[in-house]
Structure 1
Amino acid sequence: MRNWKALALHYGTAERPRSDLALEPADPHDATARIDYFVWVVRHAERVFLIDTGFKPDEGEARGRTMLINPVEALRKVGVEPEDVTDVIVTHLHYDHAGNLTAFPKATFHLQDAEMAYGTGRCMCHSRIRRPFAAEAVVDAVRLVFDGRVEFHAGDAILAFGLSLHLVGGHSKGLQVVRFDDGESVTVFASDALHFASYLKDGDVFPLFADYCEVQEGYKTLRRLAGHDGRIIPGHDPSVLRDFRTLGDDLPHAFVVR
């Protein structure tokens, strides 16, 4: 394997109306904006952690998203076979974060109690709230529970020395973020606690959320987790493609985070 500790794997993209990507009123001259889709893989302490599993091709197509490469194939191209993944961190159960759960036969899945309760409870009776969930992905998560492969967390948790989960909520009730301290620097994988880096400056939010106040408080949590010198990586920002180098000319979808 090439020399890396953490990668961003760019697997999808879409052009969306700006009003779909920000709560604050958009400039009417700015008709569309881009949103990108990533999964993240971290090698640490003899384990391979996959942060989220992306959307399935049919689900992405139905929602007007372009799959550039299947997330499972993206992993293979960087030398990680599905059976190599020891841990899958599901930041939340939305369709673009939990779409390929069954592809990792040896992994333990890490999920917040609050997210499972949210994704399977009475809130899903409301069409607007359930819109970002795919029923099959949620059912897959339930099956994994019955297979004894889900490790539930009720708040913050340490998975390995230097790698920890932090419950933020907001965008989804059980949204968790990942902090990685490799002894050299701190990286916070924000997932949908921060869709775009500009939100931290503008105080804007993605216009789909379970709790607006928790989203805003989550920005404070991200800053605290990163500390003075750490880096917060937004979950859907095209800036990731500019800010990090690719793993190689033959791997244009893989970006070295650490």
Structure 2
Amino acid sequence: MTYRLYALRYGIGHRTAPENYAPTPGFRYPETDQSLHCFCWLAVSDEHVVLVDVGADEATARRRGIDYERDPAESVRRLGLDPAAITDVVLTHLHWDHAGNLGAFPNATFHVREAELAYATGPSMAHRFLRRPYDADKVCELVALLHRGRVRLREGEYEVTPGVTVHPAAGHTPGSQAVRVPTARGPVVLASDARHYLDNRVGGDSPDGAPFSVVVRTDDYCDTSVRLDALAPGQVIPGHDPAVSRHYPRALPDDPLIRRLDVAPTAG
């Protein structure tokens, strides 16, 4: 079974390159603009649909400095699907820009790593620096859904629908996870924030790249980077890179916000 795979952009954050990389001995990224594109992802087969992350609602995104473009649920509708009919959503982690729009998918079960919810509700949140990427109201909303039976706490690797597998991807957060999707061009890995940008590819003997600037454990981040490359060599999709919007084809001719990831990108 293969899936059609879409990137759904919902906003853009304006940043400079040095903001996006951890300090690297002997090198500093030049002071150039490097925007942060905000995505969710959708895998669709003839029988199954999996949404990966829910994005953020408009009010939260704008408060956080994002130029909001469209609710991801509207992009789902433009692809001919009803957000209320989506039953499985993988939350790669619980930062505000990935898990801040739960109500847009009212009948979904949310798959989240147990370690991530424990971290987002645990003693580390007493530190302002560590809790900044989390929105307390959205985390509480997820806890309420857990009490209503709509959250599955996960450990290890698992299959969410036939062929779509989810893998531990710690580093950016303790409970991050990445998603491997079988497509017509082979397996594609949605790295989410395990790799914000292509240049965040690190680990092993790689001479280039640097971790993203927000990482809880750098050793886990590097180990995760190596594992992601092994899961889908050459086909790991970064979570926030504008290259996705530049190089992958539009799913709809008049819509620049929805891109096909099951089709090979253009060169460059």
Shared fold per TM-score greater than 0.5: yes
Q: Distance in 1 between matches of 2:49 and 2:78?
A: 15
Q: Distance in 1 between matches of 2:226 and 2:213?
A: 19
Structure 1 counterpart of 2:235, from 231, 234, 237: 231
Q: C-alpha offsets along residues 209-244 of structure 1, whole Å, 9 cap, x if unaligned?
A: 1111111111111111114xx510000000001221
TM-score scaled by length of structure 1:
0.93
Cα distance, 1:38 vs structure 2: 0.5
Q: Distance in 1 between matches of 2:45 and 2:94?
A: 24
User: After the TM superposition, which parts of structure 1 deviate over 4 Å for at least 4 consecutive aligned residues?
Assistant: 25-29
1:214 equivalent to 2:220? Answer yes
Aligned to 1:203: 209
Q: Distance in 2 between matches of 1:247 and 1:42?
A: 13
Cα distance, 1:28 vs structure 2: 7.5
Counterpart amino acid of residue 14 in structure 2: E
Q: How does 1:29-40 map to 2 (within 5 A)?
A: 30-40=31-41
Aligned to 1:65: 66
Counterpart amino acid of residue 22 in structure 2: L
Aligned residues of 2:113 and 2:155 also touching (Cα < 8 A): yes
Aligned to 1:11: 10
Cα distance, 1:203 vs structure 2: 3.5
TM-score scaled by length of structure 2:
0.89
Q: What is the aligned length? A: 253
Q: Distance in 2 between matches of 1:187 and 1:6?
A: 9
Cα distance, 1:27 vs structure 2: 4.9
1:139 equivalent to 2:140? Answer yes
Change (3 A) 1:45 1:115: farther
Q: C-alpha offsets along residues 166-222 of structure 1, whole Å, 9 cap, x if unaligned?
A: 011100110000001246511000000000012226230111111111111111111
Cα distance, 1:58 vs structure 2: 1.5
Aligned to 2:252: 248
Q: C-alpha offsets along residues 134-166 of structure 1, whole Å, 9 cap, x if unaligned?
A: 111101110110010111111111122311000
Moved more, 163-172 or 39-48: 39-48
Q: Distance in 1 between matches of 2:163 and 2:184?
A: 8
Aligned-pair RMSD on alpha carbons?
1.7
Moved more, 89-98 or 248-257: 248-257
Aligned residues of 1:7 and 1:41 also touching (Cα < 8 A): yes
Helix, strand or coil at the partner of 1:203:
coil
Counterpart amino acid of residue 254 in structure 1: I
Cα distance, 1:248 vs structure 2: 2.1
Q: Distance in 2 between matches of 1:168 and 1:28?
A: 25
Cα distance, 1:133 vs structure 2: 0.5
Helix, strand or coil at the partner of 1:79:
coil
Q: Distance in 1 between matches of 2:114 and 2:76?
A: 28
Change (3 A) 1:193 1:29: closer
Aligned residues of 1:77 and 1:251 also touching (Cα < 8 A): no
Helix, strand or coil at the partner of 2:142:
helix
Identity of aligned residues (%): 35
